[in-house]
Amino acid sequence: GENVEQHPSTLSVQEGDSAVIKCTYSDSASNYFPWYKQELGKGPQLIIDIRSNVGEKKDQRIAVTLNKTAKHFSLHITETQPEDSAVYFCAADQAGTALIFGKGTTLSVSS
Amino acid sequence: DTAVSQTPKYLVTQMGNDKSIKCEQNLGHDTMYWYKQDSKKFLKIMFSYNNKELIINETVPNRFSPKSPDKAHLNLHINSLELGDSAVYFCAAGVPSTDTQYFGPGTRLTVL
């Protein structure tokens, strides 16, 4: 089955800096790679996703890149703000039927 | 409108009790899921239902039984609760191959 590794587990940045979170996956058949943001006491919220026919996708300050050959994908947040502080999860689909999650990255943005 | 809702938000109970968590989605998706998030924040899939039929059943004790009365609802029944069942349980809807998967707000279960 699919296995997803996520790094780093914690990330501290200054407001205005960029943050990058990286994930690798094991199953070359995976085609869907979403990123979720989880704030304290809430459920995971989708922030951006990418499918395997696309190498990069951007939505304002957030971008995701995908390298299918190397089986890794990354989340890039530019101009970070204190409200970006949360736990971020990457995921990959398993046979299109379920999501397998990385272990999460706790991002802290200090002002 | 809330896309995926769960009740209750908090559930505190004694070991050995039986409890249920309810989930409803108004997205019209055929597939719903239950995930467990442990104290280290690790999210792991437990079950998947497609149009009232069980699709995925990961290695979960048979004390856990999902029940889907219709495609908008997927409830989780837990019998003989144990301390190790304490966690946050999330319901989700939407199959990754075609849909965005949306999560509910979670139910924090504490077993004393």
Whole-angstrom distance, CA of residue A17 vs CA of residue A64 = 17
pLDDT in tens, B53-97: 888 777 789 999 999 988 899 999 999 999 999 999 999 998 777
Kindly state the percentage of chain B with pLDDT values over 90: 67
Of B45, B102, B105, the CB nearest to A42: B105
pLDDT in tens, A23-71: 999 999 999 999 999 999 999 999 999 998 889 999 999 999 999 999 9
Measure A37 CA to nearest chain B CA, in Å.
Answer: 11
Q: Which of A2, A5, A50 is nearest to A27 (CA)?
A: A2
Best of B101, B102, B107, B108 to disrupt the A interface (most A CBs within 10 Å) is B101
For residue B17, pLDDT over 90 is answered with yes
pLDDT at B6: 96
**Cβ B90–A43 below 8 Å, yes or no?**
yes
Residue A80 tokens read as 């970070």
pLDDT at A18: 98
**What average pLDDT score do residues B86-112 get?**
92
pLDDT at B98: 77
Kindly state the percentage of chain A with pLDDT values over 70: 100
**Cβ B96–A98 below 8 Å, yes or no?**
yes
- Concatenated DSSP letters of chain B: --SEEEE-SEEEE-TT--EEEEEEE-S--SEEEEEEE-TT--EEEEEEEETTEEEEE-S--TTEEEEEEETTEEEEEE-S--GGG-EEEEEEE--TTTS--EE---EEEEE-
Residue B72 tokens read as 């908008």
**pLDDT grade, residue A84 (50/70/90)?**
very high
pLDDT at B1: 63
DSSP letter at A79 equals S
For residue B21, pLDDT over 90 is answered with yes
